[in-house]
Amino acid sequence: MKKDSAALVWFRRDLRDFDHAALAAALREAGRVHCAFVFDTDILAGLPKADRRVDFIHRAVLELDAALRAKGGGLIIRHGRAVEEIPRLAAQLGVASVHANRDHEPFARRRDAAVAARLSADGRRFIDHKDQTIFERDEISTREGKPFSVFTPYARAWRARLAPADLAEHRCQPRPDQLVAPRAGLPALTLEEIGFVPTDLKIPCGMSGGARLFEDFLTRIERYRETRDYPAVKGVSYLSPHLRFGTVSIRRLVAAALERSLTPEGAGAKAWLDELIWREFYQMILWQRPDVVDHCYRREFDALVWDEAPELFAAWCEGRTGYPLVDAAQRQLLQTGWMHNRLRMVSASFLTKDLGIDWRRGEAHFARWLLDYELASNNGGWQWAAGTGCDAQPWFRIFNPVTQAQKFDPQGRFIRRYVPELSGVPDEFIHAPWQMPTPPLDYPPPIVDHAAARQRTLARFGRLRAPV
């Protein structure tokens, strides 16, 4: 590309101005660089007016715009269908190319293919870059060139392939006057102008919020392995929304985890690095098998006959199952837009194994409420819990919601925070309040007997004579 040409950087789930593959490439190759973000109505349509994710994105976009303006540029912000807005904007600006970071979700792949076709028809190029993962697509494969279906060998191969170059920063230092500022007087769109309203979002947003959370986590990362499963303890990183929307750099996170994992106190960092590799494992699965969005990874399980139980499903969604830890988890999701990772497994197991309800219904509920909702990870996690997915999780392993509560919230601190009806229940009954001589009147009894539900699940899967 000639240095006097112009390029457009299309920001999506990469809302930062540092260590950004697409931005760095455009700055290397083009004389003038425009930056844009589209509030894509193909994605926003149907969302509630008070959506925490849209609020998070809006705040991150405003901070990114301010950061780019400080460098002489800024964001051109549009509201409409990205498949139309980006080609139109490219033509208006007269750019030779549009740079973007790859998104592996099926919708994004179709959208980007449509944008690329429109740009090509107009004599422009669409150039995408690897940015949201260290390794993507089929970069980590078996010796036979096939995708891994089990995490442990995938992680082993991932670590063996990792080299310093994979963690190298994509420098985003523009030359004087290289970034082009949006037209003077063009205001940023407000939430109301794109059809939404401010929410009760509490998490620190944008690049500054991601940096603050990461710095805090690094002060306690050595305890991560011991504390990550306890929802009443500040044990996890709370960075998942920032990973989802790219306000942090995956390369910086992995580099920090790797460095600390090599120290004598590195067990916590190593465990956290494993979680980052899990994320890439599920991204790989989604790329290789986009059919998992609607089908079981193990296709023989598509023949499972799930229960139609609308009342039970509603009770699960609203946190009225009578099992305190499950209810606390569901209420945390509704009240904050986030759920502790251990509780996601417990809640998913309860829906699929205790209530016998299709994992796709639960995955859709999480898609509606989770601030950090990422299709690959959530689909993978739900299928793992349901026993229909990849990896070595057997279908006959069923979480007991009471013993899980006893183990990971022994004093009921988390339960009492989100289920105030149980605030006065003694510790000895907090995990099974129906066993009290006089159970609380304002808290429901269990909607299902776990032991009986377990037998129904074993029979449900056993009828398929599935391999284990």
pLDDT, one tens digit per residue, over 248-269 is 999 999 999 999 999 999 999 9
- Marked catalytic residue, from 359, 369, 384, 395: 359
The one-letter amino acid at 280:
E
The answer to whether 308 is a known catalytic residue is no
What does the block give as tokens for 226? Answer: 């011991």
Going by the DSSP 8-state scheme, the letter that residue 301 receives in this structure is G
The angle at the Cα of 265, spanning 261 to 271, to the nearest 5 degrees, equals: 45
Interatomic CA distance for residues 109 and 102, integer angstroms: 8
Q: Is there a contact between 371 and 381 (Cβ–Cβ < 8 Å)?
A: no
- Marked catalytic residue, from 29, 222, 341, 421: 341
- Marked catalytic residue, from 29, 139, 222, 306: 306
Cut 0.85: pTM above it: yes
What is 353-391 written as a DSSP string?
IIS---HHHHHHHHHHH-TT--HHHHHHHHHHHHT-SSS
Contacts of 218 (CB under 8 A, 6+ apart): 256, 260
The answer to whether 275 is a known catalytic residue is yes
Place of tokens 């606390």: 328
Each residue's pLDDT expressed in tens, for the chain with a length of 468 residues? 455 599 999 999 999 999 999 999 999 999 999 999 999 999 999 899 999 999 999 999 999 999 999 999 999 999 999 999 999 999 999 999 999 999 999 999 999 999 999 999 999 999 999 999 999 999 999 999 999 999 999 999 999 999 999 999 999 999 999 999 998 656 679 999 999 999 999 999 999 999 999 999 999 999 999 999 999 999 999 999 999 999 999 999 999 999 999 999 999 999 999 999 999 999 999 999 999 999 999 999 999 999 999 999 999 999 999 999 999 999 999 999 999 999 999 999 999 999 999 999 999 999 999 999 999 999 999 999 999 998 755 777 899 999 999 999 999 999 999 999 999 999 999 999 999 999 999 999 999 999 999 999 999 998 886 454
The answer to whether 278 is a known catalytic residue is yes
- Marked catalytic residue, from 84, 139, 275, 421: 275
Render pLDDT for 132-183 as a digit per residue (tens, 0 to 9).
999 999 999 999 999 999 999 999 999 999 999 999 999 999 999 999 999 8
Which domains are seen in the chain, by residue range? 6-131 (3.40.50.620), 133-168+207-288 (1.25.40.80), 299-462 (1.10.579.10)
Going by the DSSP 8-state scheme, the letter that residue 190 receives in this structure is P
The angle at the Cα of 384, spanning 379 to 385, to the nearest 5 degrees, equals: 105
- Marked catalytic residue, from 316, 382, 384, 395: 382
The answer to whether 318 is a known catalytic residue is no
Nearest to 326, CA basis, from 275, 375, 377, 362: 362
- Marked catalytic residue, from 10, 158, 272, 278: 278
Nearest to 429, CA basis, from 439, 421, 442: 439
The angle at the Cα of 245, spanning 105 to 287, to the nearest 5 degrees, equals: 20
